[in-house]
Amino acid sequence: MTDTAEFLIIGGGLEGLAIAWSLAERGATDILVLERATLCSGMTGKSSGVVRCHYGAPSLAAMSWWSVPFFENAADILGDDLGFTQCGYAVGVGADNLEPLKANVAMQQALGIEVDLIGQDDMARLWPGLRVDDFAGIAYEPRGGRGEAYLTGMAFATAARRLGVQVRQQTPVAELLTAAGRVIGARLADGAEVHAATTVLAAGPWTPALAATAAVPVEVKAQRAQLILIDQGEPMPQVPVLSDLASLQYLCREPNGELLVGNSDHAVPEYLDPDDFVNRADAATVEKVIGRLDHRLPHMPDPRVTGSYVGAYDVTPDYNPIIGPAPVPGLFLATGFSGHGFKISPAVGGLVADLLLHGRTDLPNVDAADFRYERFAQGRPLLSPHPYAGAGEMR
């Protein structure tokens, strides 16, 4: 049996669903999403959900900034509560990273982003009990915070279906189909074919294997991310999300008052097989987190580790996404989100839909060419002009 679609989207994660909704919302029809398991069961389900605009690459910062009002007004736009908590976002750096911090904040302010340098006293007020004396500089975004990637993806899915998008779950794609030098759709694991004018590959860390079936090499690796949950002995009051670039970790308050701790030290990345990995943090990482937390939050009443899990960032060589046409006509890539994909997901949907429907985008301060597939072969990766020592993810 052969089905057809104008737009075939492979991957029912946050990005594929944001793209499907954005296409439909701009008036496109005949959109089909194929998901091998259940919606948002891939890495979206592992997301920490941090919303910040603190990036060194202006296009990425601009995509985050464009997405903030979307999160703020999601109930009106998508008709669903996304669980967004606007608790603010702070990034603190040691003396070695003070100059990059100032340069990045100046760039972000020039884009219109609401961010300011704040003092140690201000930070201590925002987070009572937080050790701040080794932060040589702190930037604060009052409109940052924390969302729920699963809820966001499902809200995109619900709204997209309302607009007529077809979503099929438990439908693994086995390979891309090519004919006369272009991708013409996909063959499913059960042998059925779907033919499409445009195929969008948004399969997270599974993208390279699928792209390879059309002889398209995609430079995306699955980088291990270990997350630790801490109960500090009493519920944490609402505090901002903190990127602690002095200790190279980030802290988020969970809705139940626990702390979620993630790693920001990418000096020695580890990679995993996204279909076969141990879903808990290793003892050495737990020890490291405890040591760093003892330093950062020295007055926790009775701290204990309550859990841990592991996810995979789909990282590119420059830690920025690939969003654009593949070198084979008919195929469009939206992958390699490198740990940034939640906060920019509304803009990703908009950008991809704009490019597919109009060949250009009006997203302010976003240069679509920054995310082009070819940049690695051209030796022109998208790098921050002011990178932070040690913190690859923050680039």
Ligand X SMILES: Cc1cc2nc3c(=O)[nH]c(=O)nc-3n(C[C@H](O)[C@H](O)[C@H](O)COP(=O)(O)OP(=O)(O)OC[C@H]3O[C@@H](n4cnc5c(N)ncnc54)[C@H](O)[C@@H]3O)c2cc1C
Applying CB under 6 A, which part among 33-41, 106-114, 154-162, 285-293 lies near ligand X?
33-41
Between 95 and 215, name the residue whose CB sits nearer to ligand X. Answer: 215
Applying CB under 6 A, which part among 12-20, 231-239, 323-331, 380-388 lies near ligand X?
12-20
Query: Per rule CB under 6 A, is residue 324 in the interface with ligand X?
Result: no
Query: Per rule CB under 6 A, is residue 141 in the interface with ligand X?
Result: no
List the one residue from 43, 62, 322, 391 that touches ligand X (CB under 6 A): 43
Q: What is the largest CA-CA distance in the chain?
A: 67
Residues in the chain: 395
Between 172 and 390, name the residue whose CB sits nearer to ligand X. Answer: 172
Q: Binders of ligand X among 303-322, rule CB under 6 A? A: 311-313
Between 95 and 192, name the residue whose CB sits nearer to ligand X. Answer: 192
Query: Per rule CB under 6 A, is residue 339 in the interface with ligand X?
Result: yes
CB 250 within 8 A of CB 48: yes
As a three-state string, the secondary structure of the chain is CEEEEEEEEECCCHHHHHHHHHHHHCCCCCEEEECCCCCCCCHHHHCCCEECCCCCCHHHHHHHHHHHHHHHCHHHHCCCCCCCECCCEEEEECHHHHHHHHHHHHHHHHCCCCCEEECHHHHHHHCCCCCCCCCCEEEEECCCEECCHHHHHHHHHHHHHHCCCEEECCCCEEEEEEECCEEEEEEECCCCEEEEEEEEECCHHHHHHHHHCCCCCCCCEEEEEEEEEEECCCCCCCCCEEEECCCCEEEEECCCCCEEEEECCCCCCCECECCECCCCCCHHHHHHHHHHHHHHCCCCCCCEEEEEEEEEEEECCCCCCEEEECCCCCEEEEECCCCCCCCCHHHHHHHHHHHHHHCCCCCCCCCHHHHCHHHCCCCCCCCCCCCCCCCHHHC
Query: Per rule CB under 6 A, is residue 70 in the interface with ligand X?
Result: no
Between 37 and 192, name the residue whose CB sits nearer to ligand X. Answer: 37
Between 136 and 328, name the residue whose CB sits nearer to ligand X. Answer: 328
List the one residue from 28, 62, 202, 248 that touches ligand X (CB under 6 A): 202
Applying CB under 6 A, which part among 9-17, 93-101, 291-299, 352-360 lies near ligand X?
9-17
Applying CB under 6 A, which part among 53-61, 231-239, 280-288, 339-347 lies near ligand X?
339-347
List the one residue from 84, 206, 332, 371 that touches ligand X (CB under 6 A): 206
Q: Compose the 85-104 pattern: x for residues touching ligand X by CB under 6 A, - for all others.
A: --------------------
Query: Per rule CB under 6 A, is residue 222 in the interface with ligand X?
Result: no
Q: How far apart are CA 271 and CA 288, in angstroms?
A: 19
Between 105 and 154, name the residue whose CB sits nearer to ligand X. Answer: 154
List the one residue from 7, 23, 28, 42 that touches ligand X (CB under 6 A): 42
Q: Binders of ligand X among 252-271, rule CB under 6 A? A: none
Query: Per rule CB under 6 A, is residue 37 in the interface with ligand X?
Result: yes
List the one residue from 204, 240, 346, 349 that touches ligand X (CB under 6 A): 204
Residues that bind ligand X (CB under 6 A): 10-16, 34-37, 41-44, 46-50, 149, 172-173, 202-204, 206, 210, 225, 227, 311-313, 337, 339-343
